Amino acid sequence: MDELIDILDSEGNHTGESCLKSVAHQHGYYHATVHAWLYTLDGKVLMQQRGFTKKTYPGLWDVSVAGHVHAGESIEDAALREIEEEIGLKVQAHQLRKVAIRKGERKHPNGILDNEFYHVFLVELIESFDTLSKQDEEVAAIQLFDLDILKGTKGAIPMVPNTTEYFQFICSEIQTIL
């Protein structure tokens, strides 16, 4: 879906302009996204397998929930919306624990210029995994993995390329809660 998103400058500040997501990706305009990592108190992390028709990294395992912030939408509202859309879980704003804002700049082989500031949240998964329902257009599968999967020390799954430092940061943040 081509959504209207706000354009940011290279420092993450709003420029006052908006455009379609496809235009931002064509020109490399900076924009805001959200990453929500869901975890359980027994040391599991929820990951999603990206839909096989996605334009970037189809079929690879990724963050629990991720998505673009719509024009005029608050970061928190975007996180809540994406969690409900992608995995069918309704959470409240007080359940979001913001742990970082990270700048990502990536040129994909298909020409997409993905320059974003992603706002990273942790959310304790208190509902049963069986109550979750994936958004079929976006998500091929969801699964709980041992937290060590992000460290690369236990098992291996085909994951979206990311920096090892980012995954270790997520592990560390979740482990401080556990």
As a whole number of angstroms, the distance between CA 139 and CA 70 comes to 20
User: 4-177, what's its fold?
Assistant: Nucleoside Triphosphate Pyrophosphohydrolase (3.90.79)
As a whole number of angstroms, the distance between CA 22 and CA 37 comes to 25
| Letter string b/e over residues 42-77, b meaning 16 or more CB atoms within 10 A of that residue's CB | eebbbbbbbbeeeeebeebbbbbbbbbbbbebebbe
Spell out the per-residue pLDDT of the chain, length 178, in tens. 789 999 999 999 999 999 999 999 999 999 999 999 999 999 999 999 999 999 999 999 999 999 999 999 999 999 999 999 999 999 999 999 999 999 999 999 999 999 999 999 999 999 999 999 999 989 999 999 999 888 765 567 888 887 778 988 999 999 999 9
Start-to-end CA distance of the chain, whole Å, equals: 37
Query: Considering the entire predicted model, what is its pTM?
Result: 0.95
Place of tokens 């990951």: 47
Sign of CA dihedral 39, 177, 77, 108: negative
Place of tokens 């005029």: 72
